[in-house]
Amino acid sequence: MNWQLFSVISSIASTVLAGVLITIALVVGFDEIPHIMMAGIGGIILSFPIAFVLTKKIQTIGTSKESM
- Quick check: is 64 in a domain? no
pLDDT at 62: 78
pLDDT, tens only, 3-15:
999 999 999 999 9
- Quick check: is 52 in a domain? yes
- Quick check: is 66 in a domain? no
- Quick check: is 65 in a domain? no
- Quick check: is 50 in a domain? yes
pLDDT, tens only, 24-33:
999 999 999 9
Q: Measured between alpha carbons, how far is 14 from 22 in angstroms, rounded to an integer?
A: 12
Q: How far is CA 20 from CA 4, 12, 13, in A?
A: 24, 12, 10
Domain count, the chain: 1
What is the span of the domain harbouring residue 36?
A: 3-59
Contacts of residue 7, Cβ cutoff 8 Å, sequence gap at least 6: none
The pTM of the whole model exceeds 0.95:
no
Q: How far is CA 41 from CA 4, 7, 44, 46, 66, in A?
A: 23, 17, 5, 8, 38
Is pLDDT above 90 for 17?
A: yes
